[in-house]
Structures are given as structure tokens and as C-alpha cells.
Amino acid sequence: MAITPPSNRLWWNEPIAKMEIVWIIVAFCWGLVMFGMMIYWHAEGDQNLSNEAYRTTPAAYAEKANAMVEQYTVREESGYPVVHPPPGSDVYLIARLWQWWPIIEFEKDQSYRLHISSMDWLHGFSLQPVNINLQIHPGYDMVVTVTPNQAGEFGVVCNEFCGIGHHTMIGKVYVVE
């Protein structure tokens, strides 16, 4: 670490050492490889979701979510409605301070259009323990086509810091046979 200025004040005019050039080229090429891998992993590794985003407003989105909850609620769990929408339908999940609402019940091996939007500010949808992540912005309807291939109970946590109740923002998704 230099605690005194370099002896040559115009050090930035010195030619770059050969080793440094080699490492810059190596790092640049590795960056290109990793860029290509993002596209490869999307297709081959089932990583990097093919999500779509549409403009909406919190009010318009909440209206759709409320209509779905009214129509497909099958039971309640600690004050949250549990919805069981028909396969192939549009399913609306609301992110807000500090909850994921409602609880959703999917059927295994069926496809759904899962919509997620925020009513207030930025939240992070993180499905556990499978580690599927999406940023949820207010004003945008994030849509993913999901086909659950595993039955069980999954947790949803928020992985974008959203204030004092961030750590309590926990939701649930059921996948039934």
C-alpha cells in the first residue's frame, strides 16, 4: 500500500506491464463466458426465470387479487385466506407491508400464471427452500408461468429490506397432489 505518492508523478502515462494486460484479457474473456452462461443456464439449467412484466396500478391489481380470493378461497389459516384456483388460471399474489397475501394452493404438475405485484414499495419474492427469486415492484405486474413439480409446503420470504417489519414478511404456498 502506498502511503507516499509514487516517485513518478505521471505514473498513468507508463506503459501497462505485460502481465497486467494478460490478466485484463483473461478477466474480460471470463466475463464473456459468464455472460454466455446466463443464456445457457436459462435454457438448460432451469435457472433465470422467463418472467413478464406489465404496467399496472396497486388499485387495479388489488381488485383482481380480491376477485380471485373471493372466488377461490377454500379455508382460512391464521387470518389468511387459502385460495385454490383452477389449473391454468391467473393467480394473484399481493406483496405489501408486511405480508404475502393470500396463501396459495397449487396442484402438482399443473400450470398457472402467477402474478405478483406490490401495493407499496419494493419487496423481494423468495420461494423457500427452492430458492426462486423475483423483485416485486409497485406499479408492475410480474408474471411467471409456474408448473410445480414437487408437492409440499413452501415458504415465501421477503429478500429486499422493506422496513421495520421486513423479517416478519412471510407467506406460504402449498402444492397438493
**Of the candidate residues 115, 160, 173, 175, the single one contacting ligand CUA (CB under 6 A):** 160
What CA–CA distance (Å, rounded) separates 27 from 31? 6
Phi, psi dihedral angles at 72 (to 5 degrees): -120, 15
Binding mask 89-108 for ligand CUA (x = CB under 6 A): ---------x----------
C-alpha distances out from residue 60 to 84, 85, 118, 150, 162, Å: 22, 20, 12, 32, 22
**Of the candidate residues 92, 123, 125, 134, the single one contacting ligand CUA (CB under 6 A):** 123
Q: Is 115 a binder of ligand CUA (CB under 6 A)? A: no
Q: Is 110 helix (H, G, I), strand (E, B) or coil?
A: coil
Stretch that binds ligand CUA, among 11-19, 38-46, 54-62, 162-170 (CB under 6 A): 162-170
Q: Is 175 a binder of ligand CUA (CB under 6 A)? A: no
Q: DSSP string covering 33-78, please? A: HHHHHHHHHHHHSS-S---EEEE--HHHHHHHHHHHHHHHEEEEET
Considering CB under 6 A, how many residues would be counted as binding ligand CUA? 8
C-alpha cell, 98:
408486511
Q: Is 161 helix (H, G, I), strand (E, B) or coil?
A: coil
Q: Is 125 a binder of ligand CUA (CB under 6 A)? A: no
Q: Is 133 a binder of ligand CUA (CB under 6 A)? A: no
Q: Return the number of the residue (115 or 123) whose C-beta is nearest ligand CUA.
A: 123
Q: Is 137 a binder of ligand CUA (CB under 6 A)? A: no
What CA–CA distance (Å, rounded) separates 108 from 34? 33
**Of the candidate residues 161, 168, 170, 176, the single one contacting ligand CUA (CB under 6 A):** 161
C-alpha distances out from residue 68 to 47, 102, 177, Å: 29, 10, 22
Which DSSP symbol is given to 13? G
Site for ligand CUA in 36-95 (CB under 6 A): none
Q: Return the number of the residue (146 or 158) whose C-beta is nearest ligand CUA.
A: 158
CB of residue 117 to ligand CUA, shortest distance in Å: 13
Footprint of ligand CUA (CB under 6 A)? 98, 123, 158, 160-162, 166, 169
